[in-house]
Amino acid sequence: MKDTASSQALPMARVRPGRIITWTLLFIGGVIMVTPLLFMLSTSLKDASQVYDLRVIPAAPTLDNYIEILSDGRFTRWFINSTIVAIIVTLSNVFFDSLVGYTLAKFRFRGRYIVFIAILSTLMIPTEMLVLPWYLMASQFGWIDSYWGIMFPGMMTAFGTFLMKQFFESVPDDFLEAARIDGLNEFTIWWKIAMPLVTPALSALAIFTFLGNWTAFFWPLIVTTSAELYTLPVGLSSFAVEQSVQWEKIMTGASIATLPTLIIFLFLQRYIVRGVMLAGLKG
């Protein structure tokens, strides 16, 4: 009886001052994170005259903005553009990053280490410095204002290659050697044996890449000139420059743009958390 009593009392005993502080900090953090999203949603439900009325719950909520945005052909176009870009870049990263990562992890060849260091060192160059060479390259090859122009810098990433290399290193060589003895060729070994063994890493990479490209703004803004090729973030920002800032429209577009991210998060939450833990960086 005594044991039961003390074990029941335990959870209460665990609520220490340290925990209260942690929870308070997390709560404040949560509020800071959620408030802008809440305002985004709230503003999207207001008409233009109410935008500067800062009430969270709109006085006269309306779906007019949504109707207007969704019936505006440009928005649909941008949405499709973003989807195409994000999906192709993601597939490309999943394929090529893991191909290179696998090679670096599992094959012994001269210069392997130098190649790895070279790839890794590109992580230290900030995007701002790369934009100019990218632009020059794109303009010389005639890629300005094209899907390929938007996508090419991200088709393979050093981060993805590094992530996949680390994961492939954890795949036991025995698996690959057994396959070699069974007569699978090297590409098939990678595709049929090694890849399925690193699914968690592939999911993490896919999620990071998709989200990164879905929200990418800087490069697509620079490389596109015609509105038909804008991605969502670029397109939405154009609401701010045409005449005046149309906050309600920007917020409506942003709310819609958040949906895929939200859906991905809900379905793949498990992998995202794991991926962040495994990769130890980025978000």
> Minimum distance between the CB of residue 186 and another protein, rounded to whole angstroms?
11
Judged by CB under 8 A, the residue of 17, 18, 111, 183 near another protein is 183
How far is 84 from 78, CA to CA, in rounded Å? 10
Judged by CB under 8 A, the residue of 179, 201, 254, 279 near another protein is 179
- Choose between 24 and 188: whose C-beta lies nearer to another protein: 188
> Minimum distance between the CB of residue 185 and another protein, rounded to whole angstroms?
9
By CB under 8 A, how many residues form the interface with another protein? 14
Closest Cα partner for 98 from 193, 179, 172? 193
- Choose between 105 and 229: whose C-beta lies nearer to another protein: 105
Residue 55 CB partners (closer than 8 Å, separation 6+): 42
Closest Cα partner for 171 from 208, 199, 139, 149? 199
Rule CB under 8 A: is residue 111 a binding residue for another protein? no
Judged by CB under 8 A, the residue of 23, 27, 141, 175 near another protein is 175
Q: Which window, 78-86, 122-130, 171-179, 218-226, contacts another protein (CB under 8 A)?
A: 171-179
- Choose between 134 and 167: whose C-beta lies nearer to another protein: 167
Judged by CB under 8 A, the residue of 84, 155, 197, 268 near another protein is 197
Residue with tokens 């394929």: 95
- Choose between 102 and 214: whose C-beta lies nearer to another protein: 102
Q: Which window, 34-42, 54-62, 151-159, 181-189, contacts another protein (CB under 8 A)?
A: 181-189
Residue 200 CB partners (closer than 8 Å, separation 6+): 271, 274, 275, 278
Judged by CB under 8 A, the residue of 181, 266, 277, 281 near another protein is 181
Rule CB under 8 A: is residue 171 a binding residue for another protein? no
User: Measured in whole angstroms, how far is the alpha carbon of residue 171 from the centre of its chain?
Assistant: 26
Rule CB under 8 A: is residue 177 a binding residue for another protein? yes
- Choose between 59 and 181: whose C-beta lies nearer to another protein: 181
- The angle subtended at Cα 232 by Cα 36 and Cα 58, nearest 5°, is 35
Q: Which window, 47-55, 67-75, 80-88, 193-201, contacts another protein (CB under 8 A)?
A: 193-201
- Choose between 189 and 223: whose C-beta lies nearer to another protein: 189
Q: For the beta carbon of residue 90, count every other beta carbon within 10 angstroms.
A: 22
Rule CB under 8 A: is residue 18 a binding residue for another protein? no
Rule CB under 8 A: is residue 193 a binding residue for another protein? yes
Rule CB under 8 A: is residue 184 a binding residue for another protein? yes
Interaction site with another protein (CB under 8 A): 172, 174-175, 177-184, 193, 196-197
